Amino acid sequence: MDDEGPRNRATIRDVAALAGVTAGTVSKALTGRGQVSAATRERIMAAVKEIDFRPNELARSVFERRSFTVGMITTDSFERFSVPVMLGAEDALGAGRISVFLCDSRDDPIRERHYIDVLMGRRVDGFIVTGRSSNKREPLAVERGFPVVYALTPSSDPRDCSIVVDDRRIGETAGEHFLRAGRKSVAYVTGPEYFDAVRQRGEGLNAALAAAGTRQTGQTYFGNWTEAWGRQAAQMLTRAHPEVDAIYCGSDLIGRGVVDGLRELGKSVPNDIAVIGTDNWQVIAAGSRPSLTTIDTQLARIGRIAAERLLDAIAGKPHSGIEAVAGELVVRDSTN
Amino acid sequence: MDDEGPRNRATIRDVAALAGVTAGTVSKALTGRGQVSAATRERIMAAVKEIDFRPNELARSVFERRSFTVGMITTDSFERFSVPVMLGAEDALGAGRISVFLCDSRDDPIRERHYIDVLMGRRVDGFIVTGRSSNKREPLAVERGFPVVYALTPSSDPRDCSIVVDDRRIGETAGEHFLRAGRKSVAYVTGPEYFDAVRQRGEGLNAALAAAGTRQTGQTYFGNWTEAWGRQAAQMLTRAHPEVDAIYCGSDLIGRGVVDGLRELGKSVPNDIAVIGTDNWQVIAAGSRPSLTTIDTQLARIGRIAAERLLDAIAGKPHSGIEAVAGELVVRDSTN
DNA sequence: ATGAAAGCGCTAACAC
DNA sequence: GTGTTAGCGCTTTCAT
């Protein structure tokens, strides 16, 4: 209706004038701090509605010396892994009055430096740092004690607070599920050896198998994170170890390749061979034939926890160390 | 090293004191506006380094009456479609001094309202709104004239500025590619009919075919956006229309299902039947067997353009209307 | 209960 | 060139 030229320029003094009081009083009414009579509060609120006044949080922040914003830095171009984490974090943060700045550093130190500078200038209250792999990374280059939480990709400084996937437990979960189903010969097909997650899941798997007095069949099949590798590994594996009746896969993509490979080799999944993936990447795992039992990495949960830890740090109660979040078994049709 | 208790509290006056000048002079030196002698500039810069001073952008923004921030609202939970768009936009915005607030409205009007209120309070300079589908959406509930650009999901108000995928042109591109390869009988397998994109791509496809005096074979195969539907459609299609030698698919997921379905029916792709997908969803299209020729929807580019249009609007030169961005044919092995 | 005044950190006229 | 002053929009003593 009314075309108020300059944008939303209403100030607290405009409200004051309209309500016939002074700016200080409006402030009191709005913040709830200080005494204001019911009557004037009424008038003030009416005035606020009338001119659609919204307090300038920037000015407020200058005064309060904090901005109620945090920076979320990912090195992962917001791919499959960091997106759910960021969503979880944003969700938890937004529930308070905290807004989130989005930064894609693309794993480039120059860009990361730039974002830190810009956001420190904006007086963010803290940072959440996330990445793709579970390998450790250098701490963020901010002064010691400034609130930072690492999600998914832990800091190499053990004094920092990091929330990560419990890869060892994931491996155990897979092993236990196979054992419960009575499987005797479990193989492990996964990604490149230099991923910490790859090694830890393997250790977990074997820890579970060891409890039943056995261990994984054959060597670990390291490869890359692709379906093609999964198919190839299925061939190698069934040839080298025809006794295999269960395969744990380091990702759903690999798992799907394994399942496809097995089908094409005439093996029945899960009757002949059961398969478990990792990630619970919906479209891949659910679209597989048969659909893939997998271990959900709970990324959104990791994001939410990271947000909570960050809030604590901002409140002056920093956490320290690496917190590993358990995954969750999602049973579909590739196991019985 | 030094544990400066309260965080980064250095103010422009601290710098001034250290450099033996007044705050105003420091401001001049830092902003570059106003005259400062080389010598004092030196001293000021030295002081800045020494106490690691970073001007408080919040205070600056209060003064300048703009924040150099924008809100990015997605209704899509940052899934596959909006993520690339947001990345492109963030990239273009970050190149200036603009930071981006991340908001996931989850297509919930209450949440959207909330984010708008919060971010207006933070005095964002504008909004980019993005979603999953290309169906129109209600305009964002901000006052007329406030800078907003819609990406991917256009506004229902034609006066707004929207940047979208050129779905019609995508259909044409598919048709033309088939024709160039000498295909005679082209079918169309796609998603639900209520998607604007589904209809428009079909129109484009038939426009291209019409130029060669033909039209699509059989009815349009509407279904859902899944591999399973693609497989099923491949069966229906080859039974009902054995003459088909080309299939255009409304998504890579469907395309992959079609390719798998054809292979299992003993058809050779592309020899017997050529297949084109849509999206260029890397892991799906490249992982298909054979790999899928597809049409890249250029989502990052859409994001970048949206950002540029928003910058124009913020600068007082708003754009209006729907701008459609052409896709790009990516040839792989499912066509010849 | 309300107003007056000072101040958050910064910038910009205007003096000198 | 540099300092002084006022002011951005808001909050918070401190009077009254």
pLDDT in tens, A10-53: 999 999 999 999 999 999 999 999 899 999 999 999 999 999 99
List the 113-132 stretch of A: residues with Cβ below 8 A of B. Answer: 115, 117-123
Interchain contact, A59 vs B57, CB within 8 Å: no
pLDDT value of residue A73: 97
Interchain contact, B123 vs A287, CB within 8 Å: no
The answer to whether the C-beta of A65 is closer than 7 A to strand C is yes
Summarize the confidence of residues B289-297 as an average pLDDT: 98
Q: What are phi and psi of A293, to 5 degrees?
A: -70, 140
Q: What percent of chain A has pLDDT over 90?
A: 93
Summarize the confidence of residues B273-284 as an average pLDDT: 97
Q: Which of B67, B87, B122 sits opposite A77 (nearest CB)?
A: B87
Q: What are phi and psi of B273, to 5 degrees?
A: -140, 130
Q: Which of B9, B90, B284 sits opposite A102 (nearest CB)?
A: B90
pLDDT value of residue A107: 92
Distance B100 CA to D12 C1' (A): 32
pLDDT value of residue B5: 38
pLDDT tens for A253-300 read 999 999 999 999 999 999 999 999 999 999 999 999 999 999 999 999
Q: Which residue of A has its CA nearest to B263?
A: A264
Q: What percent of chain B has pLDDT over 90?
A: 93
pLDDT band at A78 (very low <50, low <70, confident <90, very high): low
The answer to whether the C-beta of A38 is closer than 7 A to strand C is no
pLDDT value of residue A76: 84
Which residues, including other chains, have CB under 8 Å from residue A8's CB and lie 6 or more apart?
A: A52, A54, B120, B143, B146
Question: Is there a contact between B252 and B285 (Cβ–Cβ < 8 Å)?
Answer: yes
Q: What are phi and psi of B98, to 5 degrees?
A: -95, 130
Indicate the DSSP class of residue B136.
-
| CA pair distance A130, A137, nearest whole angstrom | 10
Phi-psi region at A145: left, alpha or beta (left = phi > 0; alpha = psi -120 to 50): left
Interchain contact, B86 vs A65, CB within 8 Å: no
Question: Which residue is the nearest neighbor of C9, CA to C1'?
Answer: B59
pLDDT value of residue B2: 34
Strand A328-330 and strand A293-296: the pairing is: antiparallel
Indicate the DSSP class of residue A22.
-
Interchain contact, A101 vs B97, CB within 8 Å: no
Q: For residue B53, give the nucleotide whose C1' atom is nearest its CA.
A: C9
Dihedral angle over CA of A261, A266, A269, A271, nearest 10: -150
Summarize the confidence of residues B58-62 as an average pLDDT: 97
pLDDT value of residue A141: 97
pLDDT value of residue B76: 84
With 60 as the cut, is the pLDDT of residue B1 above it? no
Interchain contact, B104 vs A87, CB within 8 Å: yes
Question: Is there a contact between B175 and B186 (Cβ–Cβ < 8 Å)?
Answer: yes
Distance B40 CA to C8 C1' (A): 26
pLDDT value of residue B77: 73
Q: How many other C-beta atoms are found inside a 10 Å radius of the C-beta of residue B320?
A: 13
Q: Smallest CA–CA separation between A151 and chain B, in Å?
A: 17
- Interface test with chain A among B57, B67, B102, B119, by most A beta carbons within 10 Å: B102
Distance B25 CA to C16 C1' (A): 15
Summarize the confidence of residues A198-210 as an average pLDDT: 98
pLDDT band at B8 (very low <50, low <70, confident <90, very high): low
pLDDT value of residue A5: 37
Summarize the confidence of residues B135-152 as an average pLDDT: 96
pLDDT band at A80 (very low <50, low <70, confident <90, very high): confident
3 state DSSP class of B43: helix
| CA pair distance A270, B132, nearest whole angstrom | 36
Q: Which of A58, A62, A253 sits opposite B122 (nearest CB)?
A: A58
Buried b (16+ CB within 10 A) or exposed e, B255-278: bbbbbbbbbeeebebbeebbbbbb
Interchain contact, A91 vs B104, CB within 8 Å: yes
pLDDT tens for A99-140 read 999 999 999 999 999 999 999 999 999 999 999 888 999 999
Q: Tally A–B CB contacts below 8 A.
A: 118
For residue B290, cis peptide bond before it (omega within 30 degrees of 0): yes
Give CA B6 to chain center in angstroms.
40
Paired strand residues for A276 = A248, A293
Summarize the confidence of residues A181-206 as an average pLDDT: 98
Give CA A46 to chain center in angstroms.
43
With 60 as the cut, is the pLDDT of residue A2 above it? no
B5 lies within 8 A of chain A by CB: no
- Weakest mean pLDDT among A74-78, B30-34, B115-119: A74-78
The answer to whether the C-beta of A31 is closer than 7 A to strand C is no
Instruction: Round the average pLDDT of chain B to a whole number and report it.
Output: 95
Interchain contact, A227 vs B287, CB within 8 Å: yes
Question: Is there a contact between B255 and B188 (Cβ–Cβ < 8 Å)?
Answer: no
Which positions of strand D lie within 7 Å of protein CB atoms?
1-5, 7-13
The answer to whether the C-beta of A65 is closer than 7 A to strand D is no
pLDDT value of residue A7: 53
Question: Is there a contact between B223 and B189 (Cβ–Cβ < 8 Å)?
Answer: yes
B227 lies within 8 A of chain A by CB: yes
The answer to whether the C-beta of B62 is closer than 7 A to strand C is yes
Q: Smallest CA–CA separation between A145 and chain B, in Å?
A: 9
pLDDT value of residue A6: 44
The answer to whether the C-beta of A271 is closer than 7 A to strand C is no
pTM over 0.85: yes
Interchain contact, B253 vs A57, CB within 8 Å: no
Q: Which of B3, B58, B86 sits opposite A61 (nearest CB)?
A: B58
pLDDT value of residue A60: 97
Phi-psi region at B97: left, alpha or beta (left = phi > 0; alpha = psi -120 to 50): alpha
The answer to whether the C-beta of B38 is closer than 7 A to strand D is no
List the 266-325 stretch of B: residues with Cβ below 8 A of A. Answer: 283-284, 287
